[in-house]
Structure formats: structure tokens, C-alpha cells
């Protein structure tokens, strides 16, 4: 039986008061903060003599929306410089973690209340935003010439430049140079050689390839594995339109090669249950010689183990001399200007600023990310490692040529399926069935 | 009459809030399920029942539904049985039982994100706790890939759900057990009933209402599980842990098929409504027999 | 205690404690130490992770955000919910049944269903990325559950008592505030505990409605740590421990209400 007494009520009330006071004090603090952040632009601009004409330019505030929380310090510096040069433009940066970026950011941009300048991913997200008509046409912008033309193609659709990729990533596996040297190994140039390399690593008690099968692994590794098996660069596009199939020889072959690596024990045990973090850890501790991710992880690995010496290597899945490509590149972080923006001209000014080599260089060296801007000087060994690849023949990440999200998932799922024991044919068939449903829509 | 008018003033603020921020979006969502809206574009077309047709025939949806059923079966079975056993063990009045109950209950107050990350660590094939246990026993190679093996991944997550909520259900059972008059059991014992017989003929029938509650609650919770799967596997590997809620989420936010996602939601709603109706019915039936 | 009983209880205790123990221990491990001996005792124990987390993350800000949103939502839901529950009990008859059904129907709608329309509405009402917006939407979503639980409790108040009060010339307000609320106070407390846990730990709605980093609640913050400390397990687990701490401390002090509230939540919900 419950006894009714006032004590619990009192305690609950006390609790409520406690919570309330905490909430109230926060209210006060945050509103004070708001005032602070809303106020400053006015006096600064009033005193500014920067404008070339004597007409005072109109005060504007731009919203800059992206997903790279780790780049905030670097961008804050850059925005500071920008605001010194253009005192009438204030840039407010807002970041969302990448998994939420898809949810909240796009809705915000579509609603027009954020993202005068915003970043997007290539592939499915770029297509969706383009289809919704949210990109301002940047075809006539002269500063596009500051970029490496070949690298910013990913932002072009039907002849119009809708967005400009800012970051350059080489999605090739990373290898531990010291371990390779110790065993006298060099990156091989054919499939037999790659298998022999893995065998040698394994014999020496190392995990040949650390593979994050549970999350990013399949989506990263599939690119280098498929690049030389592709009958044409647009094979995945053809799959989406129904002109080619995942059950075709090239994808089945790719799946069986991945399966071969797995069956021979060249991935760490239980690769499918391993997440990004755990796979990275194996490489950082030098238990694994190769990490199937991409250049974007170089800086982070180094930070955790300063002794590491890292380079990139792409498995060549065909015989020597038949390889069309040496590796994969992705230009991502596609900067666009929302059609809902009330200040497109100022947004363009900000884009122009970012496209200057010295600013892009500052960004790159502060964040450890390569950029698509020409003439940038990289100062860290990790960034230089990636730069070596600029001269190589690389293919734009095939995964991002798949523009339908469900198809993209079906493709990476087929890799998980073979790792889970399915035959390449079965896995390909299962994935093709999903693609067929998308085509039928 | 005045009394009624005043009472409406009590209802109005809540009703208004509920109508505008809950009912309206739900109905709007229902409307979008008949369109091809992608969630971004300013315009869309009315497409009738097409989305429903697509979703019902979607291989991924079917897989998600099937996974959901497996997940539900595992959680309902495991959680009910385990919480009942623990409740029977802890229903007495010993001092030590109070902290034990609190301990078993404890995981229920952790956020699902925390629970998911804690168990991702436990299941990790490289550095995980379970792997460590297998290593200790000298059976390195025998540890299954808990969340990587498509055959067991969904059950591994079900186990986490059970871990997190068994204590909570145990309390429901304990409350039920404490409502059973001790004289009844004593009488049965005097009649020469063994322990198992007392349980079957006295305890269990009187515990049935609690059991119904536990089962009904667990069923619905396991259907709604989203946070846990979102944190641990996000539906992988190869959709082996995709359930309906994660499927809807992926449709809307990774595939930009908002219309279809809404249709999926509406179907899910029908399913849940049916389950809830059964729950109500079962509860009412028990009240009569009690 | 029989041997069997003792061993079952011991085993289950270990099952609960072991994962928590290893997670807590990890907080005091350096990264290399952790990877070398993931399950060992920290040698030597270090405060680095904790210090770094507090230095790099605006944890107090996240904590305050969580407190603000939770307190606001719980109080609003309790107030509105108990008022409606009171009205339902007083109305009786068809109106009461209808009102009850209207809210009970909301119990069936899973929140994942309305994600995008909710977001759209929040934006149109200028409620997105604002704590107030999250409070209002969370309250609307939890109101059905609260009405369901609280009308159950209110029904237990003897009708005669309220009617007697009514005859004595008490208005509805004073009946509600002076009689009904104090009488169900213990139940309000456990309902509050239940709501507290639900709101504090909610992921989906904050994920949808909050954008800026400075507004994140604790569960969202953990998700974000996962992005920022990709390969740094000790840091990530430190984040998990630190963000769980506030509720754990509350649980230690207010155990009874949590336990009662969460099981009653299950009973009624």
C-alpha cells in the first residue's frame, strides 16, 4: 500500500526549484550572450573606412553551415581575417556533426534560414540539393579559376557550376612505411603482388589490412578495389539507369577479390564487427600494416602516434600494365550558395576569399586536409604525402557516382554480405534486386 | 454549466499545444505519404497510393519488418523471463535485496546512446570485454562476431536492450508479487504443495496482470527501438539490424524519399495501433478475471 | 539464501557491473595504456582524459542545456497533464471519455513518424534551434503519456472529497490546486522522475530541432564526441561517463522515485 505523505512532494518541489534555478541562470547567461553577439557589427562598420566608395555598404550577416566541427578553430581564424577585410560582412559559422548534417542542415537550407554559404557531400546529397534547386549558379564566377579544374568537376551538373569542392581526399589505403621497410616490402603493381604482400605481412605476425567493416570500410575500400575492374568510368551510372547490372562480371569480380582477402585472413578477425575507431586503433598501435581508409585520416593517426610514418597505397586488382588508375580521389566539402540567400553577392565574396591560395593554405595546414585550390603550400609531411598523389592518375571516387542513396547502400551492403559469408554472385544479385526496385520507381 | 466552462479552461492550453505541435504534424506527414516530396524541393506531385505500394514491396522494408519481429521476439522472451526470475528471487524483505534491486534497475536511467556505446565497447572484436573473456579462457578464435555476423547481430542488440530494461520490468513484477497475500501461499504450503506447485497454482495466476503489462510494454518498446540501433550498427551489416524505424529514417534522410518515408511511417502506425489495441484488450480481460 | 539463488544474483550483478566497471576504469587510462591492456587496471591512473574533455568541450554548457530543456519540459508536461487529468476526472461521462481517447490515441504515434513535418513546423513557427522550441515540442509529444498516467492517479481520489469541496464553495482552481494536486503529489513525483529520464536521455527530437553546437544536450554531445575522437576510445568513454554522471547522482539520492516512476511509466505507458 502506498502511504500518502508530503515528504516526497516536498523533495520533488525542491528538485524542481533546483532545476529551475539552473535553467533560469542559463537563460540569463544565454540572452546576454545573444545580445553580445548581435550587437558588435554595427559600430565596427560605422567606423569603417574600408569601402572604396563613400557610400556605406549595407550591413549583412552570412550564415556558413558545414559539418566539420574539428575545423572550427581554423575557420574562425579565417573568418576573422575576412571580416577585417570586409567589415560590413559578418560570417556566423554553424556546424553540425556529419550524421545530423543530412537531417537538420538540408531542411534549414531549404527553409532559407541558414546556409547562405553551405557545404555538401558529393553524390546523393549533391544531387538532391541540385534537384531541389537550392544551388545558386556559380558558372560565371571568375575565382573558379583558382581551383584545379579537374578536381572541382564534382560540383558541375548539366554544364552548370553549382558548387565548388574545397577539400581533396585520396581514398587510398594508408600503409605503415617503417613496417614495410623492415620487411623489405614495396607497394605492388598487380593483384598477385598484392596478395603476396599480404601473405608476407601475415607471416610476420601482422594484421595485413585493418578494415572497418561495420561502418566506413566498405564504402572506402570498394573504390580502389573496383577502379581497375570498371568497364567504363560511368559504370555505376549505367547501373542506376539499368544499362548495366551489379551482377555483371566486373562487380562480381570485385566482390570475390574482397572476399578473397577476407577468406585468406588478410583482414583482422571479425572485420564486419569492427568500427572505424577500432580499425584505426589497430593501425595506430602498429598491429596492422595497412588501414583501409583514406588520406583524411593521416593527420589524426599521426596525432595519436607521432612515431608513425605513413604513405598511401592502392591495391591493383588486375595484372601489371593493365591498370588504368593508380588511386582514387574525392573532392568533397562542396561549397555552394543557397538560392534562398538574401545576400548572394556577399556570399560570393566569402567564396572568393576562401579560394585564395594563401587562405586555402592556412586552412589546409591548420586542419591537415588537402584542398582543391591551386598553388597551395603544404607544410606537414602528412599533407605532402597526399600531394605526391597529385601527379598520379586517379579516378574520382566511384561510390559517389551513385546518386541514389538506396543504391549506394545496396552496393556497400553487398560487400558486407560477402564478408558475412555470402557468395559474390548471391551478394551481387541481392544488391541488384534493390537497384531494380529503384529503377522501377 | 459554469463548472464545465471552467473545466475547459483546464483542458485548453494542453489541448492546443497537443493539437498544433503533435496532431497537425502527424496529419501533415500522412498527407505527404501520398506525394513524391523529397523533403527539400519546394514542389511535389500527388502520387496516390504509389508510395505505399513501393514500400510494401521494398525488399529492405520486408527485411526490416522481419528483423523487427525477430528483435521483438528475443527481447520479449528474454526480458520477461529474466525479470520474472529476478523478481522471484528478490521479492522478499531481506536487507541486501534493496541495493540489489537498485543495482539491477540502474541501466534503465542511462541514455540509450551511452548504453549503445558501452556495449559497442563490450562487443568490440579487438579490444572488447567479451573478446577479453574468450582470450582469458584460451578460446581466442571462438568468439563470435557479435554485431558483425548477420545471423546474430540483431540478437546481440536485443541482448543489450534486455540488459538495459530487465531491472525496470523486475520492479513491475516485484510490485505484483508483493500484492499477493502471504496467507495464500502459506495455505498452499500447509496443503502440502511443493514450491513449483505453489508457483503454478497460486503465484503465477495472480501475477498474470503484471506479466501482461510487462509483455505489452516490452513489445511496444522493442518495436520503437531506434536510438540503440542508430548508435550501435545503424542497420548494418547488410541491413541485418535494420528495423522499421531506422528504415524510415534512412529513407527520409539518406535517400531523400520523404514521401515514401511517410508512407512507411503510416504503415508502422497501423501496426503499432494494432499492437496497442491488443494490449488494451488484454489488460481489460485481465481486470475481469482478477 | 540457497546456493542457487545466491549464484544467480551474483552472476547477474556481475553482468550489470562488469561493463560499467571497465568503462569507468578506462576514463583513467592513457590511450597507449588502453590499447596495450584494454581490460587491465590503469597503470598509472591518469586524469588526462578528464582534464582534456573539460578543456576541449563546453561540458557545462551542454549540462546547462540539458537541465534547461529537461526542467522546462517536465514542469510544463506535469502542469498541463495534471490539469487535463483533473478535468477528465471532473467531467465524467462522454466528454471525459472523448478527451481521454484523443490523448490516448497519441500514445500510438511513434515520434519517428513525424520527424520531418515536425521540423518543418518548428521552422515556420520560428522554434527551431531554440531551447523553447524543444521544450514545447517535447511537451506536446509527452503529453499523451502524462495524461494517461496522471488521470489514472487522479481517478483514485475519492469523488466525494471533491464534491464535498465543491459544495463548500471551492472553485475548480482551488479544488485542483488545494486538494487534487497535493493528494496525488507522490504520484506526480514519480511521474516527474519518469519524464525526467525520458527527456534527459532523448536523442531524436533534440537531434532534429537543435542545430548549433552551443545548444547541444548531453546525449547529442556524446554522439558528437564519436565524430571528434574517432580513434580515441578512452576519450569517447570518458565522454560517456561524464555525461551520464548527473543522472546517476540524482538516481543515488532519489532512487525511490526513479524506480517507482519508471515502473509506473511502464505500467501506464
Residue A25 has pLDDT above 50, yes or no: no
Q: Same structural domain for residues A82 and A164?
A: yes
- Distance from C-alpha of C103 to C-alpha of C101, rounded to nearest angstrom: 5
Say how many domains are in chain C. Answer: 1
pLDDT tens profile C2-46: 888 889 999 999 999 999 999 999 999 887 788 777 788 887 888
Residue of A414, A440, A400, A332 lying closest to A127 (CA atoms): A400
Verify whether the Cβ–Cβ distance B125 to A269 is below 8 Å.
yes
Instruction: Tell me what pLDDT residue B176 has.
Output: 82
Verify whether the Cβ–Cβ distance B4 to C91 is below 8 Å.
yes
When CB atoms are compared, the residue of A4, A98, A108 closest to C227 is A98
Residue A210 inside a domain? The answer is yes
CATH number of the domain where residue A234 is located: 3.40.190.10
Instruction: Tell me what pLDDT residue A90 has.
Output: 92
Kindly provide the b/e burial profile for residues B195-229, where b requires at least 16 CB atoms within 10 angstroms of the residue's own CB.
Answer: eeebeeebbeebbbbbbbbbbbbbbbbbbbbbbbb
The alpha carbon torsion through A220, A224, A228, A230 (nearest 10 deg) reads 0
Verify whether the Cβ–Cβ distance C266 to B122 is below 8 Å.
no
Q: Give SS3 for A63.
A: strand
- Distance from C-alpha of C173 to C-alpha of C181, rounded to nearest angstrom: 11
Tell me which CATH homologous superfamily contains domain B50-285: MetI-like (1.10.3720.10)
Verify whether the Cβ–Cβ distance A406 to B42 is below 8 Å.
no
Q: Same structural domain for residues A112 and A207?
A: no
Instruction: Tell me what pLDDT residue A120 has.
Output: 92
Instruction: Tell me what pLDDT residue A265 has.
Output: 94
> Nearest CA of chain C to the CA of B49: how many Å?
18
* Confidence band, pLDDT 50/70/90 cuts, at residue C268: low
Verify whether the Cβ–Cβ distance B40 to A274 is below 8 Å.
no
Largest CA distance in chain A: 86
Instruction: Tell me what pLDDT residue C207 has.
Output: 80
Verify whether the Cβ–Cβ distance C67 to A114 is below 8 Å.
no
* Residue C170, domain extent: 57-268
Q: Same structural domain for residues A178 and A162?
A: no
Instruction: Tell me what pLDDT residue B154 has.
Output: 95
Instruction: Tell me what pLDDT residue B71 has.
Output: 95
Instruction: Tell me what pLDDT residue B213 has.
Output: 77
* Confidence band, pLDDT 50/70/90 cuts, at residue A51: very low
Identity of the highest mean pLDDT range in A168-172, A301-305, C254-258: A168-172
Q: Are strands A370-371 and A310-312 parallel, antiparallel or unpaired?
A: unpaired
Mean pLDDT of C263-268: 61
CB atoms within 10 A of CB A82: 20
- Distance from C-alpha of B249 to C-alpha of B234, rounded to nearest angstrom: 10
Contact A167, A192 (CB under 8 A): no
Residue C221 inside a domain? The answer is yes
Residue C263 inside a domain? The answer is yes
Contact B177, B136 (CB under 8 A): no
Residue A235 inside a domain? The answer is yes
Residues of chain B scoring pLDDT < 70: 1-3, 193, 280, 282-290
For chain A, the average pLDDT equals 84
Residue A6 has pLDDT above 60, yes or no: no
* Residues recorded for chain C: 269
HSE-up of residue A243 (Cα within 13 Å, Cβ side): 8
- In chain A, the percentage of residues whose pLDDT exceeds 90 is 55
Cβ under 8 Å to A: C residues 133-152: none
Closest residue on chain B to C12 (Cα): B104
- In Å, how far from its chain's centre is CA C256? 16
Closest residue on chain A to C185 (Cα): A9
Q: In Å, how far are A96, A118, A203, A296, C128 from A360, measured between CA atoms?
A: 22, 17, 44, 16, 33
C20 vs A49 pLDDT, higher one: C20
Residue C19 inside a domain? The answer is no
Q: Same structural domain for residues A64 and A113?
A: yes
Contacts of C15 (CB under 8 A, 6+ apart): B163
* Confidence band, pLDDT 50/70/90 cuts, at residue A425: very high
CB-based contact, A309 to chain C, within 8 Å: no
Lookup result for grid cell 473545466: B7
When CB atoms are compared, the residue of B114, B119, B245 closest to C244 is B114
Residue A100 has pLDDT above 70, yes or no: no
Domain residue ranges of chain B, discontinuous segments joined by +: 50-285
Q: Same structural domain for residues A126 and A239?
A: no
Verify whether the Cβ–Cβ distance B113 to C203 is below 8 Å.
yes
Query: What residues of chain C lie within 8 A of the CB of A306, using their CB?
Result: none
When CB atoms are compared, the residue of B29, B85, B102 closest to C117 is B29
Residue of C22, C23, C19 lying closest to C241 (CA atoms): C23
The alpha carbon torsion through C146, C152, C154, C160 (nearest 10 deg) reads 160
Say how many domains are in chain A. Answer: 2
Mean pLDDT of A183-192: 93
When CB atoms are compared, the residue of B28, B110, B172 closest to C117 is B28
Contact C193, C262 (CB under 8 A): yes
pLDDT tens profile A306-363: 899 999 999 999 998 889 999 999 999 999 999 988 899 999 999 999 999 999 999 9
CB-based contact, A414 to chain B, within 8 Å: yes
When CB atoms are compared, the residue of C213, C220, C231 closest to A95 is C213
Closest residue on chain A to C223 (Cα): A97
pLDDT tens profile C109-157: 767 667 778 888 887 888 877 889 999 999 999 998 888 888 888 887 7
Mean pLDDT of A64-87: 89
For chain C, the average pLDDT equals 84
Residue A45 inside a domain? The answer is no
* Residue A270, domain extent: 174-313+404-440
Amino acid at each position: 500500500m502506498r502511504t500518502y505523505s508530503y515528504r516526497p512532494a516536498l523533495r520533488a518541489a525542491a528538485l524542481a526549484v533546483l532545476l529551475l534555478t539552473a535553467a533560469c541562470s542559463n537563460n540569463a547567461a544565454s540572452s546576454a550572450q545573444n545580445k553580445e553577439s548581435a550587437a558588435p557589427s554595427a559600430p565596427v562598420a560605422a567606423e569603417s573606412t574600408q569601402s572604396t566608395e563613400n557610400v556605406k555598404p549595407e550591413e549583412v550577416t552570412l550564415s556558413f553551415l558545414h559539418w566539420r566541427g574539428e575545423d572550427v578553430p581554423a575557420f574562425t581564424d579565417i573568418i576573422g581575417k575576412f571580416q577585417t577585410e570586409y567589415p560590413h560582412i559578418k560570417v556566423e559559422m554553424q556546424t553540425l556533426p556529419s550524421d545530423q548534417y543530412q537531417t537538420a542542415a538540408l531542411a534549414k537550407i531549404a527553409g532559407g534560414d541558414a546556409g547562405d554559404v553551405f557545404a555538401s557531400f558529393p553524390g546523393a546529397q549533391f544531387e538532391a540539393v541540385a534537384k531541389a534547386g537550392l544551388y545558386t549558379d556559380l558558372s560565371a564566377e571568375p575565382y573558379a579559376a583558382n581551383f584545379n579544374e579537374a578536381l572541382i568537376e564534382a560540383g558541375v551538373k548539366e554544364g552548370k557550376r553549382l558548387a565548388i569542392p574545397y577539400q581533396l581526399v585520396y581514398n587510398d589505403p594508408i600503409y605503415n612505411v617503417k613496417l614495410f621497410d623492415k620487411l623489405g616490402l614495396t607497394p605492388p603493381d598487380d593483384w598477385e603482388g598484392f596478395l603476396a604482400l599480404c601473405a608476407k605481412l601475415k607471416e610476420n605476425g601482422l594484421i595485413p589490412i585493418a578494415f572497418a567493416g561495420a561502418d566506413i570500410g566498405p564504402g572506402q575500400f570498394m573504390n580502389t578495389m573496383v577502379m581497375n575492374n570498371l568497364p567504363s568510368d560511368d559504370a555505376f551510372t549505367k547501373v542506376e539507369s539499368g544499362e548495366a547490372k551489379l551482377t555483371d562480371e566486373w562487380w562480381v569480380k570485385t566482390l570475390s577479390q574482397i572476399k578473397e582477402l577476407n577468406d585468406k585472413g588478410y583482414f583482422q578477425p571479425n572485420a564486419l564487427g569492427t568500427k572505424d575507431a577500432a580499425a584505426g586503433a589497430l593501425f595506430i598501435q602498429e598491429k596492422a600494416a595497412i588501414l583501409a581508409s583514406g588520406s583524411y585520416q593521416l593527420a589524426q593517426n599521426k596525432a595519436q602516434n607521432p612515431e608513425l610514418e605513413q604513405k598511401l597505397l592502392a591495391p591493383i586488382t588486375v595484372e601489371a600494365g593493365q591498370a588504368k588508375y593508380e588511386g582514387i580521389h574525392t573532392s568533397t566539402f562542396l561549397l555552394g550558395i543557397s538560392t534562398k540567400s538574401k545576400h548572394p553577392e556577399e556570399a560570393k565574396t566569402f567564396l572568393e576569399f576562401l579560394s585564395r591560395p594563401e587562405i586555402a593554405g592556412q586552412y589546409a595546414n591548420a586542419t591537415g586536409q588537402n584542398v582543391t585550390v591551386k598553388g597551395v603550400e603544404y607544410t606537414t609531411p602528412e599533407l605532402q604525402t597526399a600531394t605526391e598523389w597529385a601527379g598520379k592518375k586517379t579516378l574520382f571516387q566511384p561510390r559517389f557516382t551513385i546518386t541514389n542513396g538506396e543504391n549506394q547502400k545496396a552496393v556497400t551492403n553487398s560487400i558486407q554480405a560477402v564478408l558475412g559469408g555470402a557468395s559474390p554472385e548471391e551478394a551481387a544479385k541481392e544488391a541488384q534486386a534493390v537497384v531494380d526496385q529503384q529503377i522501377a520507381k | 454549466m459554469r463548472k464545465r466552462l471552467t473545466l475547459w479552461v483546464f483542458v485548453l492550453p494542453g489541448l492546443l499545444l497537443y493539437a498544433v505541435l503533435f496532431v497537425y504534424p502527424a496529419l501533415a506527414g500522412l498527407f505527404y505519404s501520398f506525394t513524391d516530396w523529397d523533403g527539400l524541393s519546394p514542389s511535389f506531385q500527388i502520387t496516390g497510393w504509389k508510395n505505399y505500394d513501393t514500400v510494401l514491396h521494398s525488399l529492405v522494408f520486408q527485411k526490416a519488418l522481419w528483423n523487427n519481429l525477430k528483435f521483438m521476439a528475443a527481447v520479449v522472451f528474454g526480458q520477461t523471463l529474466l525479470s520474472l526470475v529476478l523478481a522471484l528471487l528478490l521479492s522478499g524483505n531481506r536487507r541486501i535485496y534493496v541495493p540489489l534491486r537498485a543495482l539491477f534497475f540502474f541501466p534503465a536511467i542511462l541514455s540509450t546512446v551511452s548504453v549503445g556505446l558501452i556495449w559497442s565497447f563490450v562487443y568490440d572484436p579487438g579490444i572488447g570485454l567479451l573478446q577479453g573473456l574468450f582470450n582469458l579462457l584460451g578460446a581466442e578464435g571462438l568468439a563470435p562476431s557479435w554485431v558483425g555476423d548477420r545471423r546474430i547481430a540483431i540478437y546481440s542488440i536485443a541482448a543489450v536492450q534486455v540488459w538495459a530494461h530487465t531491472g525496470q520490468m523486475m520492479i513491475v513484477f516485484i510490485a505484483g508479487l508483493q500484492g499477493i497475500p502471504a496467507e495464500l501461499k502459506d495455505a498452499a504450503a500447509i496443503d502440502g504443495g511443493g514450491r513449483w506447485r505453489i508457483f503454478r497454482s497460486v503465484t503465477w495466476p495472480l501475477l498474470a496482470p503484471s506479466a501482461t503489462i510487462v509483455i505489452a510494454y516490452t513489445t511496444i518498446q522493442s518495436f520503437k527501438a531506434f536510438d540503440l540501433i542508430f548508435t550501435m550498427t545503424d542497420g548494418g551489416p547488410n541491413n541485418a539490424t535494420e528495423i522499421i524505424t531506422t528504415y524510415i529514417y534512412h529513407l527520409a534522410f539518406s535517400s531523400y524519399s520523404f514521401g515514401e518515408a511517410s508512407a512507411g511511417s503510416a504503415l508502422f502506425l497501423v501496426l503499432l495501433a494494432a499492437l496497442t489495441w491488443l494490449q488494451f484488450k488484454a489488460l481489460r480481460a485481465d481486470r475481469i478475471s482478477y | 539464501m540457497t546456493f542457487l539463488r545466491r549464484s544467480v544474483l551474483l552472476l547477474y550483478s556481475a553482468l550489470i557491473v562488469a561493463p560499467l566497471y571497465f568503462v569507468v576504469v578506462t576514463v583513467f587510462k592513457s590511450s597507449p595504456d588502453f590499447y596495450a591492456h584494454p581490460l587491465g587496471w590503469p597503470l598509472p591512473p591518469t586524469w588526462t582524459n578528464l582534464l582534456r574533455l573539460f578543456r576541449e568541450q563546453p561540458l557545462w554548457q551542454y549540462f546547462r542545456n540539458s537541465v534547461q530543456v529537461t526542467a522546462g519540459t517536465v514542469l510544463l508536461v506535469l502542469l498541463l497533464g495534471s490539469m487535463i487529468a483533473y478535468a477528465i476526472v471532473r467531467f465524467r461521462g462522454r466528454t471525459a471519455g472523448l478527451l481521454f481517447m484523443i490523448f490516448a490515441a497519441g500514445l500510438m504515434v511513434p515520434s519517428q513518424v513525424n520527424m520531418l513535418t515536425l521540423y518543418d513546423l518548428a521552422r515556420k513557427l520560428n522554434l527551431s534551434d531554440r531551447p523553447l522550441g524543444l521544450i514545447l515540442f517535447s511537451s506536446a509529444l509527452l503529453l499523451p503519456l502524462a495524461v494517461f498516467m496522471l488521470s489514472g492517479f487522479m481517478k483514485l481520489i475519492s469523488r466525494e472529497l471533491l464534491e464535498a469541496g465543491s459544495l463548500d464553495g471551492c472553485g475548480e482552481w482551488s479544488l485542483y490546486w488545494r486538494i487534487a494536486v497535493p493528494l496525488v503529489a507522490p504520484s506526480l513525483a514519480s511521474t516527474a522522475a519518469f519524464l525526467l529520464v525520458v527527456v534527459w536521455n532523448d536523442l531524436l527530437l533534440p537531434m532534429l530541432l537543435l542545430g548549433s553546437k552551443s545548444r547541444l544536450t548531453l546525449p547529442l554531445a556524446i554522439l558528437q564526441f564519436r565524430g571528434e575522437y574517432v580513434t580515441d576510445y578512452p576519450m569517447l568513454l570518458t565522454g560517456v561517463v561524464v555525461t551520464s554522471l548527473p543522472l546517476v547522482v540524482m538516481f543515488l539520492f532519489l532512487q525511490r522515485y526513479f524506480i517507482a516512476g519508471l515502473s509506473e511509466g511502464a505500467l501506464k505507458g
